[in-house]
Amino acid sequence: MAFTFFFRDLPVLEYAVQETIKLAMGRMRIKVWDAGSALGQEPYTLAILFAECLGATFNNLFIDTTDYDSENNFGDIVKQATYKYDELKRIPVDIFKKYFESQGKDTFRVCDKVRSRVFFQYHDLLSLRPIGSDYALIVCKNVLLHFQCHERIEVLKMYHKALSSGGVLALENTQKIPDTISHLFEQVVPDAQLYRKL
Ligand SMILES: C[S@@+](CC[C@H](N)C(=O)[O-])C[C@H]1O[C@@H](n2cnc3c(N)ncnc32)[C@H](O)[C@@H]1O
């Protein structure tokens, strides 16, 4: 259930980052929520993509990252941010060299700069209580498929509430906004499940 990897579905994440920067540039805080983030590969990928674009304003970025799996200590694993080289070898070499530090024994840690912008907390999406508000971007990929149709709709309504005006929602390619709530979001680009709050 926690299958994930670095730079998964890169084109959608790149689109999402570009749209978010267009929306949130000039704000004191660029707030992002990565919901169902598993072991950290996705939020750290997002943080790296933002780091590549934001320059000096990177410290305005706050990525709240959540998962409900406390049994397997996901929180500790995300905060530790240490991964085996096998998991990292598909990352472009220049990015790998820039953002990962060797810990010896084929193990690498995400660098301090990137780690410092990612904040993990345990959260069950089906509680339907948002962890905050005014998010410029919410990423929820490969999670909603585990829910029943009515649960999916309620979670998407929660995201709508938690987004700032014009905020962006990124889903996996097979996930569409159900017709009953299509008035809440508009699709940003035809070739990705990337939506803007209406
Ligand atoms: C397949 S992983 C997806 C990881 C990442 N988003 C990606 O696309 O690569 C699904 C994650 O959703 C989490 N998840 C499932 N149900 C959840 C719930 N009710 N609340 C929060 N997280 C949940 C699981 O623990 C798992 O880590």
Give the total number of structural domains in the chain. 1
- Expressed as residue numbers, the domain containing 80 is 10-197
Tell me the one-letter amino acid at 47.
A
Residue 4 lies in a domain: no
CA dihedral 58, 61, 62, 66 (to 10 degrees): -90
Task: Using DSSP bridges, classify how beta strands 82-84 and 185-187 pair: parallel, antiparallel or unpaired.
Answer: unpaired
Residue 5 lies in a domain: no
Residue 88 lies in a domain: yes
pLDDT (0 to 100) of residue 1:
65
Three-class secondary structure of residue 159 per DSSP: helix
pTM recorded for the entire structure: 0.97
Write out the two tokens for 169: 């929602």
Residue 61 lies in a domain: yes
Cα separation values, 119 from 80, 81, 129, 139, 155, Å: 12, 12, 18, 14, 21
User: Which of 68, 131, 156 for mutating ligand 1's site (highest number of atoms within 8 Å of CB)?
Assistant: 68
Write out the two tokens for 27: 């704000």
pLDDT above 90 for 81: yes
Residue 77 lies in a domain: yes
Q: What is the pLDDT of residues 11-66, one digit of tens each?
A: 999 999 999 999 998 889 999 999 999 999 999 999 999 999 999 999 999 999 99
What CATH number does the domain containing 130 carry? 3.40.50.150
pLDDT (0 to 100) of residue 70:
87
Q: What is the pLDDT of residues 135-194, one digit of tens each?
A: 999 999 999 999 999 999 999 999 999 999 999 999 999 999 999 999 999 999 999 999
User: Which of 87, 143, 151 for mutating ligand 1's site (highest number of atoms within 8 Å of CB)?
Assistant: 143
Residue 38 lies in a domain: yes
List pocket residues of ligand 1, CB cut-off 6 Å.
Answer: 1-4, 8, 36-38, 42, 67-69, 124-126, 141-143, 146
Residue 1 lies in a domain: no
Residue 177 lies in a domain: yes
Centre of ligand 1 to C-alpha 170, Å, is 14
pLDDT (0 to 100) of residue 96:
97
- Of the candidates 53, 59, 48, 58, the one whose C-alpha atom is nearest the C-alpha of residue 83 is 48
